[in-house]
Each structure stands twice: as structure tokens, then as C-alpha cells.
Structure 1
Amino acid sequence: MRKVEYNHLEEGMILGAPIVDAEGIVELLSRGTRLTQRHIALISKMGLMDIYVLDDENEPFEETSLDLEKIINTAKVSSSNFDMNKLKSDLDEIEAQIYEPTIRSVVNRNMEIHVLTGEGNIPIDVKHEKSILDTKSVFNKIRDEGELDLERIRRNVEETLPDMIRNNDVLMRLNQLKENDDYTFQHSIRVSILATMIGKWLGYSHVELIELGEAGLLFDIGKLNIPDFVLQKPTNVTLDEYELIKKHAQFGYSILLKTKGISSNIKYAALHHHERLDGSGYPLRLGENQIHDFAKIIMVCDVFDALITDRPYKKGISPLLAADYILWSSGKLFDSEVCYVFIKRLSEYFVGKHVKLSDGREGTIVYVDTNYPTRPTVQVGDLFVDLIKNRDLNVEVLM
């Protein structure tokens, strides 16, 4: 296995290690993927650098053994919130767990949605500051004591849901959230908003939207059992550390199993959100018909938000580039219906947005072809730049 710069990638090369997002958690392309020109173009657009390929297709994948003690000792960092014995105990419990059969078809697509619409256009983090802060305190309690107060989560979701879904311009809603130094919490809030919006567009009932909103908040709580120094490591995550990070879906499931009142829908959303339709995901390598419907929504929201969010060590890509990745992965990694509804409704709000193109020019999106929703027409001065025809250009920044 060897490292290759992205501009030296060739069609037919086989990935020897997964390509992950800046945080080292979202798996964008799985180990063993045979690269196509489309793969290479996306890797180039996203600025992904650490690419490992196999020299021979028969070369065995490098297997890793998870040595938690070694990871902790090597890092020489202590965390008052990290309990090695608890982590090992949870890991043993999860690996011995006999999982319940996956509940399918949890949604009646024909149900009408009946929710309050809210008033005015006050930013959600201002109008619902108390609920958001209370939700964060619940997260802190999970991190410190390993206990989840479901009633507080449910109360806060019920209070904020009407305003969360009132306006279909989901990017505006995300931009209303203040920056927060707790990425796990901030990401969960954003995924919850995105997931409830998709649920609304799919025709979920009010009760189902409440449950989906809770699942969006809680899907990533297993990361609270991962040491901060591993999660916050900016670059060069080792294969051992990556394998540890990948356990967060199981850790989250373990926490939810112990919480009274948690539905199977929420538990499976946490356990399955890194599975992929083609069986390349983790932790169970499930196929399309085995993955829970809530997880099919949340996995799209998880990847989209991870791609567009700025991190201290990597700037997020534009929503249009992230949408392009989601669209390209539709039917292969992600559910086609979820992707179609999400991209279609998202693109309706691209028109009128001020953007910067990859060549540095700035302009305004004036037209979106529904057949190519991520390749709009941009007016730059007196010129109209059609990105369907100008394939070498991309929307670099959505302002």
C-alpha cells in the first residue's frame, strides 16, 4: 500500500485505506473501491490529499488490531471524562449483543403533516436559546455521567420543531446557528434540523417528526465515549485510532439501550448511520434492505453537514459541492428517494444566492436546471456562466 497525491490518481486504482472527512469519522469512499474518473474528479474538487492505493489488486488489506491501552499511552494525554474500564466494558457488551431484527417501513408516506408554523423570522438560536442550552447540558451529563435524560431531549424537540421546519430554506436555518466550540453538539443540532426537514418533505407525521428530531440529536452520542484527543486530532489519524472512532455508533447504541423510553427507531438510527446501501459501511456491513429508514435520512444529513462545516484545521466545501457528492452517491451509498427529495428542495433556494466561483469571480445564481440541480447558471456582471457547460468551474463559496 502506498500514498498517492490526488493529482497522480489514475482510473482503476484500488483504495488501500478509506477516504474520510476532515474529522476522520465520515467515510466518503470505502477501502477496496476501484477508482473511476468521477471518483478522481470528486476527490480533486474536495481537496482530499491523503490517498492510499494498493500496488496489486491481490494485495491483502492491512488489518489493524485495536489496542486501546496503546492509543491512550502513546498520546500521553489524560482526560478526566474518559473511563478506560467503562469503554472496554461497553465494547465487550456491544460485540456480544444479539441485535434485534431491524424494524422496516416505519413511515406511512401518505400521512399528512400537521405542525404549527411559528411567527416571524427570528433566528432559531435566539428564539430557542433556552432549549438549545438545556439540550447542551444534557449532552454534558452524558459525557460526564453516562446518563441520558430523554424527557428533556423530547421536551426541547417538541418546543423547537415548529420553527425548525417552518421555513424550507434549510441553509438559512443552519446559518442562523451560532458557532459553538463543541462540534459534536453543534453537528447534532444541525443534523436534527436537516433530518426533520427531509422528514417533512417525505410526508412524515408530526409524531414521527418529533421522533426523527430526537434521533438526529442523539445519533452521534457515542462520540462522547471517545477521548477528546482522538476526536480533535487534526491530521494523521492512525488506523488504530480510526478503528476506535468507528466504534462510536456501537457506543451510542449501548447508551440508548440503557435508556428507558428510547424507541427502536432512535436506537437503530444511531447504530446504522454509518452503514451504506452497498454494504461498505460499518459497524455491521448491512445492505440496503437491512438499514433503518431513519438512518437512511440521518446518514445523508451527517455527511452533508460534515462536508460544509468549517473546522479549525480544514475549511468546509460549498453546499453545492457537498450536494454534488450526495447526488453522485445516490443509489450506491445513500437512499435514492432521500437524496432526490433533499437535493431538489435544497436547490429551490439556490436562486438569488451570491456565490464565488472556483476561478475567483463572484456572481449570483439566476437559474437552476432541475435535471442538474448542483450545476446552476451564475450571472457574473453581464455574463451568464452555465456550469452545466463549464464543467471545469464549480461554486467555491455560497455567500
Structure 2
Amino acid sequence: MKMRVSQLKPEAGLRLIENVNGLTKKPIVPKDTIITNEVIDVLNAFAVKEVEAVKADNSEKLIKKKAKNHQIDPISESKQNDKKLLYFQQHYQEVVKEYKKEFQRWQSGGTVDISIIRRLVIPLFEQLEKEPIHVLFLQNYIENVQDYIYHHAISVGLISGYLAKRLNMNRGECFQVTLAGSLCDCGMARVNPGILNQNIINNDDQREIKLHPTYSYKMLQKIPSLSTSAKLAVLKHHERIDGSGYPLKEKGKNIHLYAKIIAIADVYHALICNRIYKTKVSPFRAIEIMTREMFGKLDVSVLQTLTNCLMPLSINMLIKLSTHQIGKILFIDHRYPTRPVIQLVESNEVIQLNEQNDISIKEILNN
């Protein structure tokens, strides 16, 4: 029978009798799943209002049966983590698809409906807040590099919002930074669409692309629910501390903190993703590039916050090295956050990457 999600109780021993479907081919939650707190969280995250559910005749048998089919495993913590990653990925993919529709509407001359963007991005951000491990895997969710611009928008919003949270901003500010991050490239909808997926970008194309922060600002400037700080962040997210950025070539203290946050999220996500014209690097290598090769351009305190967010999340993660060996991260020395202590899977040999400059982490693997 139909039941409102708001009325579901885990202790009631209910199970779904129909798949809960989204926009992707796989159901958000498959039928015969027992209703738990985790399932209710997923349903709420996808804004599902009603489900078909009945009282389970024998919940324990059903759970064991599903566990045998590898759909539910109440014992294995790693499988539970895999399920959480899958639930988040499905939610994320839903949001990207909806954002793509909005972007295409802007390309046709439509205006930004902030209520739609808020409805899409904020619940996903709240899910990431609870399980920040997802920050490490956002780059893996891009199935088609042609869709990079849509993924980039959502991921920059999520990373920016999480950085704001870690910088102890209040709830309202975190939401404003998340929205600004997700909309900082909305002005790309006003750029010649032929440029967006070119293998080679010439000087004329580059000049047009550099107009996108101004286009974005103009598209958002009359939205009252978006704060002035958020709008300035959109305008200035390509400014650099040393004045080498655009469109205003502003320096240091003249760049709003929100813009400094989004700048770092923007650069970081661009580095860790495959693009039409470049290959991705690992989160570890991205931090090294931002710290060393972009020294003086990005805010040091915000970059340190990003490093402090990401590196501890990778403890016990499997990684692939530049030598093609698989290892497990055992320990991260705060002095060398991008060069952790690794145990090789095949030989159990322990190596310290800060002493092995010719070896680097190529990829973090989904455990």
C-alpha cells in the first residue's frame, strides 16, 4: 500500500513492494528492501514523498536472503560503505542531469531559477556533510567527458560548501557558498557552445571564455535570495592573490573569502577530472600542484583547509601508484600530507613516499 515517507518507521518492519525509481536506469532503492533509517535518509535525499510498502512477514529471513544475493549485507561494514557510495552517486547523477537541463535552458535565453538550483544542490550537500568520504570520489562519477561542465558545477558547489563548513562558517553562509559554487560557471551558457567541448582552444576562444564570470554575475545579480557576497564570489572566482586572474585582476584582500574558497574548489576539481584535452591527476597530485606550482595565486589558509579535509579521509584507502602497484595508505605525516606511508598489497612492504620522490599516487581506488 502507498505510505508517506514522513510516516515510515524502521521499527515497523516494513519492506518495499515496488522499486523506487529515479532518472537513472538503476532504481534508487530496489523492491523487497527492508525499511531502515539509512533507506529513509536516501528517500528523503531524493525528495521521494510516497512509496509502496507492506509489513514484512519475516524480516530476518528476507534480510538474509537479500544478503545472499549481495543486495543487503547487514554484517559487512565495507559493503555498507559501498552502498552509501552508490546511494550518493545515484543522487549526484540525478542532480547533474537536472542541472544539465537548466543549463540548456539558459543557453536558450532562460533565466536562473534559484529555487530549482537550491532544491537540487542543498540536499546533496547535506548528504555529503554527513559522509564527506564522497569528496574523494566525485571525479569518478563523470561517465562522459562531454558532460564535464555540468559535473564541474555541482562538484565545485559541494566542495566549496564543505570548505565553508570546515572554515566554521554558519549554516546560511555554507548554503550561500554552495549555491555560488554551483552557479559560478552559469555564464558559460552565454559562451559560444562550440567552444565548450573543443580539443584545442585558441586565443579568441580563451578571450570569450574569460567573459563567463561577468556573464554569470549578470545572470544572478537580481536574485534577492542570493547574497551580495555570493554574487561577488561568482564574479571573482577566477581572480588570483597575485593579481594574475580575471576579469578584474584584483589582488589579495580585495578578493572576497567566498571567491577564494570557490577558486580552490574550481581548480582542484578541474585537476582531478579527465577532460577532452587533459588527463586527470590524483587528489594527492592536485594538492601538490596547487601548493607548489600555483604558489602565491591561491589563498594559503583555504588550501590548507582543503588538504586537512581530504588527506585524513584517505587513511586505509587502496591506491594505485605510478609504478602500477596497489597499496594501502597506513599513515599521513602532517608535514608531508601528499606523501603518505603506504603498504604494498602484494609484498606487504611498507614504503614512505616522502623518501621516494620518483613514486607518486596515481589514483585512489574505491575500496
TM-score, with length taken from structure 1: 0.65
Q: Aligned AA for 2:259?
A: A
- What is the RMSD of the two structures over their aligned residues, measured on CA atoms? 2.3
Is residue 324 of structure 2 the alignment partner of residue 389 of structure 1? no
Q: Aligned AA for 1:293?
A: L
Shift of 1:266: 2.1
Residue matched to 1:320: 284
Instruction: Give the Cα separation in 2 of the matches to 1:387 and 1:204.
Output: 34
Residue matched to 2:175: 210
The SS at the match of 2:285 is: helix
Q: 1:206 to 1:359 in 2, by over 3 A?
A: same
TM-score, with length taken from structure 2: 0.71
Shift of 1:249: 1.1
Q: Aligned AA for 2:167?
A: L
Instruction: Give the Cα separation in 2 of the matches to 1:244 and 1:349.
Output: 38
Residues 311-350 of structure 1: pairs in structure 2 closer than 5 A: 311-328=275-292, 332-350=296-314
Residue matched to 1:287: 251
Shift of 1:176: 7.0
The SS at the match of 1:145 is: coil
Residue matched to 1:255: 219
Shift of 1:204: 1.6
Shift of 1:195: 0.8
The SS at the match of 2:328 is: strand
The SS at the match of 2:343 is: strand
Query: Which structure: larger Rg?
Result: 2
1:347/1:374 contact within 8 Å kept: yes
1:273/1:296 contact within 8 Å kept: yes
Residues 125-164 of structure 1: pairs in structure 2 closer than 5 A: 125-127=89-91, 131-164=95-128
Instruction: Give the Cα separation in 2 of the matches to 1:129 and 1:360.
Output: 30
Shift of 1:197: 1.1
> Which of 244, 251, 265 does residue 301 from structure 1 map onto?
265
> Which of 239, 263, 285 does residue 203 from structure 2 map onto?
239
Instruction: Give the Cα separation in 1 of the matches to 2:362 and 2:141.
Output: 22
Q: Which has the higher contact order (CA 8 A, sep 6+)?
A: 1
Residue matched to 1:36: none
Instruction: Give the Cα separation in 1 of the matches to 2:211 and 2:355.
Output: 43
Residues 1-399 of structure 1: pairs in structure 2 closer than 5 A: 118=41, 121=84, 123-127=87-91, 131-172=95-136, 174=138, 177=141, 179=143, 181-235=146-200, 237-328=201-292, 332-380=296-344, 381-399=347-365
Deviations 1:126-146 (A, max 9, x none): 346655544333222212124
Q: Give unpaired runs (5+ residues) of structure 1.
A: 1-116
The SS at the match of 1:397 is: strand
Larger proportion of helix: 2
Higher mean alpha-carbon deviation, 239-248 vs 327-336, is at 327-336
Shift of 1:320: 0.8
Instruction: Give the Cα separation in 1 of the matches to 2:197 and 2:93.
Output: 26
Q: 1:152 to 1:171 in 2, by over 3 A?
A: closer
Q: Give unpaired runs (5+ residues) of structure 2.
A: 1-39, 43-79
Q: 1:130 to 1:345 in 2, by over 3 A?
A: closer
Instruction: Give the Cα separation in 2 of the matches to 1:228 and 1:324.
Output: 33
Shift of 1:264: 1.3
The SS at the match of 2:173 is: helix
Q: Which runs of 4+ in 1 moved over 6 A?
A: none
Aligned residues: 282
1:277/1:333 contact within 8 Å kept: yes
